[in-house]
Amino acid sequence: MKHYCTQFILTFVLTLPSFSFACAPLTPNTTMLARLQAVEPSAKVQSYTNDKQGYMLRFSNYNFVFRPIWQSLTKKSPTQFEATFKPSNVKPHDLVIALSDNYDGNKPDNYRIYAIAPVTCQNNKIKLGRAILAPDNPGWNRQARRCGVSRDTGILDAFIGSKSQSDYLKDLQAKYPTCEALQSAYPDNLSAQSTGKQAGFWAWFKELFNFAKSRQL
């Protein structure tokens, strides 16, 4: 009996780090607004679903909307976005919001998408659609303070802290007060040859310009 108890405790301790990582809350600083360009199956990306392979996502424009200016100056722009699941809730040309992160310190340019949802705007009001979550990270339920989101939990409720999705939506609404401003920031008229790196640079440049302008007011 003592042997089995010791074995159980040892197994629990060894699996605890991987369990904690599986639902590790992401940071708002790597939350991106983007125009989805393509979703392509890739044998190079591991799949955590019934699909035999993961997916590469390409964006014609993206911006880490909650990232401070100083981080935009110091961090490299991602050149690759991958997903371990098929984002069937969105399609090319959609405006999307995604929770992402760099998962391999040896590959700082590679980011993984852990959750994604469509973004719409009507009557100058931004709305976030139903999110799909990566099976390898079921999401953090801020309201319940545990792993796993519920039907009442939005994609921006996945962060630790006092701010809810409603608070983050207010920040987005202040940044893009009209639907025209939102669509102008993420136009759907870029060529298929536009890369995320180019889009990231111009998004960073616009953020820097707006920041400098606000300091002068």
pLDDT digits (tens, 9 = 90+) for 105-119: 788 888 999 999 999
pLDDT tens, 170-183?
Answer: 999 999 999 999 99
Residues near 203 by beta carbon (within 8 Å), at least 6 away in sequence: 61, 62, 63, 185
pLDDT value at residue 69: 80
Instruction: For residues 40 and 192, give the distance between their C-alpha atoms in angstroms, rounded to a whole number.
Output: 14
What distance lies between CA 175 and its chain's CA centroid?
A: 18
Identify the CA nearest to 193 among candidates 48, 38, 2. Answer: 38
> Three-state secondary structure along 57-89?
EEEEEEEECCCCHHHHHHCCCCCEEEECCCCCC
pLDDT value at residue 76: 74
**Mean pLDDT confidence for 64-81:** 82
Computed over every residue of the chain, the mean pLDDT equals 77
Report the percentage of the chain scoring pLDDT > 90: 40
The CA-to-CA distance between both ends of the chain, in Å, stands at 73
Instruction: For residues 115 and 98, give the distance between their C-alpha atoms in angstroms, rounded to a whole number.
Output: 5
pLDDT value at residue 151: 61
pLDDT value at residue 9: 35
pLDDT tens, 113-168?
Answer: 999 999 999 999 999 999 888 877 666 777 777 776 666 678 898 888 889 899 99
pLDDT tens, 24-58?
Answer: 678 899 999 999 999 998 988 877 777 778 999 99
